[in-house]
Amino acid sequence: MLKTRVSPVMQPASTSSVAHPDGATENPTPPPHPSGTRPRAADARLRRLPARQALGRSQSLPVKVRYTAPKPDLHPLIAAARQPRILERLDAMRQRLADLKTDQARGWEAIGIHDTEFLDLLVAMENARHPELALSLHAIDHRALRDGNPSAVADLAGALATSMRTGKHSWHAILSTNGYQAAVSVRHHAKHPERISLVVVSSGGEMLSEPEWHQVATLLAKGVDKALEQHRALGLENAPSRATVDVHCLHTGTQLISDGETILALSAAKAMPADKDVETLHQRALANAGERESPVGVRIENDNNYLGPRFFKYMTYPFGTDKLLEKRPAFETQSVSKKTELPLRAFQNMHMRQRVPRFGIEEQRNTAHENKRLQLYERAIAHLGASVRVDAMAGYLNELLRAYKSGTEPPAPRDAEFLDLLAGAENMLDPQLRLSTHRIDTAKLGTRDPGAIASLAPILAEGLRNGNDWRATLDLGGHHVAVDARHDAEHPTHLSLAVLNGAGSPLSREDWRNLTRALSNSVNAILQAGEGNGSRTGKVWLTRLNISDHLTGTTDTALFALLTAKNMKGDQDIAGVHSKALARASNSASPGGIIRNSGDALIDEEHDPDNKDHALLKGLLRENQIQLYEQAIPYFERLLGTRSETH
């Protein structure tokens, strides 16, 4: 079989199944751990497979995590990741972020209404970061409200009835109506959950008139009453006779422009749980609700002394700040931002910029909400994008586990889709592995465009800077190869790349020459930019190791490359390849070149790809593949905060 850790049986057969679309919630029986016992029928070759080779990091960092499929309601990011068209929406969100950055760079006012298109995704991200918020989205149909139609508040009424029934006494929401968004804090009486208090904070204007708010409260109370009627119809004891709803509306006067109200509503919602005034208003409303004849109470205050300084940190203009500080002088010294710890006026001054409104003349205004919006978008895109991919990995793993358990063919390979995540998890297990994944633009190679290997530049620069070896997988037009890189200890600018190539490479000899030339040019460009301790030129020698004659079946080259690359670390035969290449670099005036090697030296003479044990070997490979995902998925779930150790 193998003299090295590079195994020719690391090639699962291709099949036609597809991964489960939603990451099934069942808990399939996991396969035996790769480090367990094996049937004696498997000869010495089995001990040379990656899972049986006592890899260095597996000995020092044993991984015994078994993946458990998450429940659908486990985490807001998972729920968002499973939304229809989520990838399309994330692409639209990225475009929106790019437009926002362009507008900010030009000093233009953005179009704030577009934020509502992604509000549910922003809310999911905030719930992930602040579970205590229990933030949700609700809308009031303004036209139906004017007609007195209960459907106007049906969604919010249903949420109140649910929280009354489940004992979820405190939660928050973003409420949209009539083109406005506001933050809402909801509180149920601890002993009488049918008594409900809503504190609404509006930053951008008066959402509804007082009669309209009274109509909202009345319809909400009637909606919750219907739930109470159902309780009584079921003969439940102690079912209250009616619900009460108190609505207290506060307008901060913060937003005097049209482009940031959604962001201000999110900010206000996040500030509500810790605000003493919000708590006081809830307690006051709930204490008096049972004694009142009317089931509803509404109070609107546009000019008040409620709410802490955090609710006013996005005050648009200095004259608004002057008026507020005159009325509430304590804000002169109280911090409005945990990060900067600055008081209101200093925080506003730090963010004053010239802006050109969509309609109007250039003016100075507080742009802090612009920076906050960019931060919210960037964070949501990064976490949701990763959650979508990790959830897809979980679905794929479930398919692999089911196929393994039932003895059926595995699903169609998707390893290329998750290769960078799998590599990241391997680096977590062994930081010295330094494994990365790269896509080479083969079309640009033909034109000798340096952009063909652009993603490799940081890796090359790091290696030239510190002389560390590294590993990588290269996607060459859908065909993946494994790379092990070594710098000469005496001449760190001399670089040897051992490339192990499986079957079916689409690259011609000219393509390989162009790849080597591009790598050499990139190294020299990095050196001329200041790396390499003053050296101006480097040498790159690439050794092609081809073992395609020893492969059978249809190779999943992505999985092959990943398993091979991580096993090339510390291998003596690969070290010998580097030694010869670096010796040639030292003894030759040439800036680099290609050494072709069949790779037969890496394979035991007794290896027979048609051996009857081949099916068993492929089965063991499946365990290696499954172990990769079982190690990677919990790691990324914990990194994203989406994993529960009790599920």
The predicted-structure confidence for 418-463, as pLDDT tens digits, reads as follows 999 999 999 999 999 999 999 999 889 888 888 999 999 999 999 9
Average pLDDT over residues 233-243: 74
Decide if pLDDT at 10 tops 80. Answer: no
Q: Is the confidence at residue 220, as pLDDT, over 70?
A: yes
Asked if residue 26 has pLDDT above 60, the reply is no
pLDDT at 35 over 50: no
DSSP three-state, residue 269: helix
Mean pLDDT of 546-558: 69
Q: Is the pLDDT of residue 71 over 50?
A: no
State the pLDDT at residue 597. Answer: 82
Angle between helices 261-271 and 368-406 (to 10 degrees): 70
Mean local confidence (pLDDT), 559-563: 90
Q: How many CB atoms lie within 10 A of CB 587?
A: 8
**Nearest to residue 402, comparing CAs of 14, 45, 15, 19?**
19
Radius of gyration over every alpha carbon of the chain, rounded to an integer in angstroms: 31
**Contact yes or no for 86/39 (Cβ under 8 A):** no
CB-CB contact of 413 with 11 (8 Å):
no
How far apart are alpha carbons 241 and 232 in whole angstroms?
9
- Residue 72: is its pLDDT beyond 70? no
Whether the per-residue pLDDT at 44 is higher than 80: the answer is no
* Integer Cα distance of 50 and 546 in angstroms: 19
Q: What angle do CA 623, 627, 631 make, to 5 degrees?
A: 175
Helix intervals (H) in 430-533: 442-446, 457-466, 509-528
Please choose, from the candidates 195, 201, 204, 250, the residue with its C-alpha nearest in 3D space to the C-alpha of residue 224: 195
Lowest-confidence region among 67-76, 268-277, 318-327: 67-76
Q: What is the per-residue pLDDT for 233?
A: 74
Q: Please state, in angstroms and as integers, the Cα–Cα distance from residue 113 to each residue in 226, 260, 308, 487, following that order.
A: 35, 8, 27, 54
Query: What is the structure's pLDDT at 43?
Result: 31
Rounded to the nearest 10 degrees, the angle between the axes of helix 210-233 and helix 154-166 is: 50
Which tokens belong to 38? 């094996």
CB count within 10 Å of CB 588 equals 12
Cα-based distances in Å from 213 to 185, 209, 247: 15, 6, 8
> Which range, 249-263, 297-311, 369-383, has the best average confidence (pLDDT)?
369-383
| Tens-digit pLDDT profile for residues 106-124 | 999 988 889 999 999 999 9
How would residue 244 be classed by pLDDT, with cut points 50, 70 and 90?
Answer: very high
The set of long-range contacts for 356-363, using a CB threshold of 8 Å and a minimum separation of 24, is: 356/106, 356/107, 356/108, 356/109, 357/109, 357/257, 357/258, 358/108, 358/109, 358/111, 358/258, 362/107
Is beta strand 195-202 parallel, antiparallel or unpaired with respect to 180-188? antiparallel
pLDDT recorded at residue 501: 77
**In this structure, what is the dihedral angle of CA atoms 619, 625, 628, 630, given to the nearest 10 degrees?**
-70
Q: CB-based burial of residue 276 (10 Å sphere; 0-12 exposed, 13-18 middle, 19+ buried)?
A: exposed
Residue with tokens 């057969």: 13
Question: How confident is the model at residue 619, as a pLDDT?
Answer: 53
The CA distance from 425 to 512, in Å, is: 30
- 77 near 129, Cβ under 8 Å? no
Separation of CA 276 from chain center: 34
> pLDDT digit string (tens) for 478-499?
899 999 999 999 889 999 999 9
Query: What pLDDT is recorded for position 296?
Result: 96
Write out pLDDT tens, residues 127-166. 999 999 999 999 999 999 999 999 999 999 999 999 998 9
Average pLDDT taken over every residue of the chain: 83
472 strand-pairing partners: 436, 483
Task: Tell me what pLDDT residue 27 has.
Answer: 36
Q: How far is CA 400 from the centre of its chain?
A: 23
Q: For residue 273, which amino acid is it? A: P
Which of the four pLDDT bands, split at 50, 70 and 90, describes residue 625? very high
Strand partners, 471: 435, 484
531: pLDDT confidence band, cut at 50, 70 and 90? low
Residues 6+ apart with CB under 8 A from 640: 77, 128, 383, 386, 387, 390
Percent of the chain clearing pLDDT 70 (strictly above) = 81
Which pLDDT band holds residue 552 (cuts at 50, 70, 90)? low
Q: State the pLDDT confidence band at 508, using cuts at 50, 70 and 90.
A: confident
Q: Which DSSP state fits 335?
A: B
What is the pTM assigned to this prediction?
Answer: 0.79
Q: What's the confidence (pLDDT) of residue 236?
A: 62
Burial grade of 25 (CB within 10 A; 0-12, 13-18, 19 or more): middle
Q: Which two tokens stand for residue 573?
A: 């035969």
Going by pLDDT thresholds of 50, 70 and 90, the confidence category of residue 58 is very low
Average pLDDT score over residue span 499-517: 83
What integer is the mean pLDDT of 208-226?
Answer: 95
